Amino acid sequence: MKIAVCDNDIAFLNELTDMIDSYIFDRDVMLNVKKFTNYETLIDHIDEFDIFFLDYKMEGINGLDFAGKIAEKYGDKKRIVFITAYPEIVYEAFEVRAFRFLVKPMIKEKLYKVLDDLFVITNLNPKVVIKTDGETYYIDADDIHYLKVEHKTTSFILDKKEITCHKTMDYFEDYLSGYSAFFRIHRSYMVNLKKVKSFRNTYVIMQNGDKLEMSRRRYSDFCKRYSTVCG
């Protein structure tokens, strides 16, 4: 996923891109970020990017007009996030199909939430980085059937292989929090809802035939999430 960030406040521009770099590190995802200080330069590079973080008010072309040009040509194929000191522009932002707007000064947790949601809404399948002893795997999230905890390790069950690492299930539950298809059904299991074949209130049967224990107290939330993700 390629992100363009445009703001004429250099200090803020650097602060925002630093936060996105922190997100890349914390989530172990692959994003490409490029900075712009004016829309006149960015307008020649629109095709290169998937996501645009745009300052609402700048000299020359303003953010709303620029976003309108993107929406008119690309529709929902490209996503727009406004960054502004003027929260009252929210209604105008919706007119140009803005995905979100963030109010200055930037709050890291809110930026992370927007980026997490962008991965889901754009159907961009995140790469899960699994580091084992001496080897690193980059796995498409959709290829994962489920995760399981065993002897202080976490194992990823894929179509034809199993990969084990020493990070905790809690770590991966947070790591995958922006990808709604994953749900923790038990302290020992987190499943990819798209790989669930059937379920009852005490167990889940995966498409590969594995039967996993379901925590009764998580069953209600599981049903709600399953309905949202799988319809």
Q: What are 98-112's pLDDT values in tens digits?
A: 778 888 889 999 999
What pLDDT sits at residue 130?
A: 86
Q: What are 21-33's pLDDT values in tens digits?
A: 999 888 777 788 9
Domain stop point among 106, 121, 136? 121
Which CATH number covers residue 158? 2.40.50.1020
Burial of 181 (0-12, 13-18, 19+ CB in 10 A): buried
Domain membership of residue 27 as a residue range: 2-121
pLDDT at 158 over 90: yes
Percent of the chain topping pLDDT 70? 91
Domain stop point among 121, 146, 164? 121
What pLDDT sits at residue 189?
A: 98
Q: What are 165-220's pLDDT values in tens digits?
A: 999 999 888 878 767 789 999 999 999 999 999 999 999 999 999 999 999 999 99
The helix/strand/coil state of 137 is strand
What pLDDT sits at residue 11?
A: 95
Could you tell me if 100 and 151 lie in one domain? Answer: no
Could you tell me if 62 and 133 lie in one domain? Answer: no
Domain stop point among 121, 156, 174? 121
- Residue 222: phi, psi to the nearest 5? -60, -45
Could you tell me if 165 and 215 lie in one domain? Answer: yes
What pLDDT sits at residue 63?
A: 78
- Give how many domains the chain has, as a whole number: 2
